[in-house]
Chains A and B, each alone.
Chain A
């Protein structure tokens, strides 16, 4: 479980993940905020729809993609959490991949 070294949140902003309200520290990336809230699955993979979560946290791997305020494929590790952000698990685009 991820925890903050400084236990208190001093400047809280409130985001929503899959409908659940989460208080996070201002200046935290969406990825860090969700990881601190115990979230691990951020998206479904494009082909097999397996769960995926943040891997590199530096904008390289694109595993932390989420849907933010209705826009899909946002990199959670590169975007700061903002008050009122509505975040959802990124779903695979195609329901069944027939290859």
Chain B
């Protein structure tokens, strides 16, 4: 089994920057990433994107080009198409190579740079074909130059406006933008404005996006409530209340977005402690000032450490690498301080954004008839019923209902299940906690599992 100073999971901005910094400091590094090419979701297809597509995607996206180039040249061992399916507490890592069998490596330090996933958005009709996340539209555009001319965007958050702007630039404007941000959020967010102003470039970009969208004539529906998607076999219309009126927009495609949350599968697998972040409405691994988890030598960089955006992701990646190098005897303190300062500056916009675009309450606590677990088709009402039966938390709910036992392994229902239980039991969300995650982190062919080095055990003595 090969062994490395540092294993990095994920080749987005955090993973790439971490690899660059770690190799620069003489550490041996392996980067395992599930995608065919570096970039993560934020810089997806960054190495191959055409000029036409690049113009649509904008300059923030193109910033990933230099990072990807530096990453390619940094000397780290980079394995694309590698799906990590188990990591044990001795940092032995099993990963699957896209149907070519599994490999195993070990590392002294682990950097989890698996980024974020879009917050699940349970609402009536959200399982109908034709309904996607807003991020999915962006992935189609980045990776495949695919755009849809019949989309209604629904939700809240910067990504929603970014996707809309990119669609507009591609001359396929969304049919409408249905904003679920409740009224009065701007006033609430205003107290964070002074700090946000120190990160003025973000504010300016955001305002420019919104101005462009408003000028374009795309219909905006503010403060939308009671949002539902209609359709028998596929999506046919979005219905909602806005401005005191009921609306119905016929469409074949609906894209939902309520912000992004850390992808916590690996930190949960490794039984790192997590805390509920009430501002970001998500669980975040408990980290020290240098992004080390509660388990020695395991770090989280990027959005997995709490949503911070692409620039911060890369900074966190660098910081973590510098810290690991320091532990191995390199003097990196001055550079760490430099990165920490930049990180602080880059994060100034966050409290403002988090308050302004906090997810809509009807999304966090869906009505009884809304499906929460898409795989096993379990509704919010069934989850509440399981709590009434005495289930104290998500693991018992899972065991009663099979909720979270399907192929997505709880990724799509977990956050909602926890919130529903907390609300129904009138407890703090952090106290309710989350599903216990076990291997395989992604479904794995039995033959592939059988082929790895095994340890014979005693069997049924009957």
Size of interface on A: residues with Cβ below 8 Å to B? 38
> In the complex, A27→B45 CA distance in Å?
11
Size of interface on B: residues with Cβ below 8 Å to A? 47
In the complex, which residues 285-318 of chain B have their Cβ closer than 8 Å to any Cβ of chain A? none
Q: Is the interface of B mostly helix, strand, loop or mixed?
A: loop
Whether A40 contacts B234 in the complex (CB less than 8 A), given A61-B408, A73-B407, comes out as yes
Question: What's the least CB distance linking A73 to chain B, in Å?
Answer: 7
Closest to B443 in A: A73
Q: Does residue B36 face the partner (Cβ distance < 8 Å to A)?
A: yes
Are A50 and B407 in touch, CB under 8 angstroms?
Answer: no
Are A53 and B129 in touch, CB under 8 angstroms?
Answer: yes
Q: Does residue B203 face the partner (Cβ distance < 8 Å to A)?
A: no
Whether A40 contacts B146 in the complex (CB less than 8 A), given A5-B52, A61-B408, A62-B375, comes out as no
Are A2 and B148 in touch, CB under 8 angstroms?
Answer: yes
Q: Which residues from chain B contact A4 at a C-beta distance below 8 Å?
A: 144-146
Are B234 and A29 in touch, CB under 8 angstroms?
Answer: no
Are B147 and A2 in touch, CB under 8 angstroms?
Answer: yes
Q: Does residue B346 face the partner (Cβ distance < 8 Å to A)?
A: no
In the complex, which residues 32-61 of chain B have their Cβ closer than 8 Å to any Cβ of chain A? 34, 36, 41, 48, 50, 52-53, 56
Q: Does residue A20 face the partner (Cβ distance < 8 Å to B)?
A: no
> In the complex, A42→B377 CA distance in Å?
17
In the complex, which residues 22-76 of chain A have their Cβ closer than 8 Å to any Cβ of chain B? 25, 27-29, 32, 35-36, 40-42, 45-48, 50-63, 65, 73
Residues on B facing A (Cβ under 8 Å): 34, 36, 41, 48, 50, 52-53, 56, 117-118, 127-133, 135-136, 139-141, 143-150, 170, 172, 233-234, 252, 263, 374-377, 406-408, 411-412, 442-443
Q: Can you report 26 residue pairs joining A to B where beta carbons are below 8 Å apart?
A: A3-B147, A3-B148, A4-B146, A5-B141, A6-B52, A25-B144, A32-B140, A32-B143, A35-B146, A36-B144, A40-B234, A41-B233, A42-B129, A50-B377, A51-B234, A54-B132, A54-B136, A55-B131, A55-B374, A57-B139, A58-B117, A58-B139, A60-B117, A61-B411, A62-B408, A63-B127
